[in-house]
Copies of this chain bind each other. A is one copy, B any other.
Amino acid sequence: MTIGELSKKTNISEYTLRYYEKKRLLRVSRDRIGRRCYAENDISWIFFIKRLKDTGMLLKDIEKYAELRYEGDSTMPERLAMLQEHRVYILREQRKWAEYLKNLDSKISFYQEEINK
């Protein structure tokens, strides 16, 4: 699969795919004339990267995860530990959002009362 095809399938720009490669999130083999060729399972890997990123993991931490992943199955315990740590982060985020929603709702109520006075 070429970079253009992968870009369409994942909805991630070619620029970004190359950028991720430079940042070592992605390891890509080349064809005979030096063009990137991606494997099918790179798609799910990229979606996984996307999820980690969207849930606030920094690229440099994703890079660490990627390095372990490319090292093979022996690094599973380490990867598991990283995910468990990230899980704690997500739980904290959830609590944060719940609290802010409560806050915002009381602000909204206040405004509504003020306006209807």
The chain A residues found within 8 Å of chain B, CB to CB, are 51, 54-55, 73, 76-77, 79-80, 83-84, 86-87, 90-91, 93-94, 96-98, 100-101, 103-105, 107-108, 111-112, 114-115
Contacts and interface: CB of A to CB of B under 8 A. Distances in A.
A80 B49 CA distance: 37
Contact of A87 (B79, B87, B94, B105): B105
Nearest to A55: B100
A66 to B, nearest CB: 15
Q: Which 5 A-B pairs have the closest CB atoms?
A: A80-B111, A55-B100, A94-B97, A90-B101, A83-B108
A101 B105 contact: no
Contacts of A103: 51
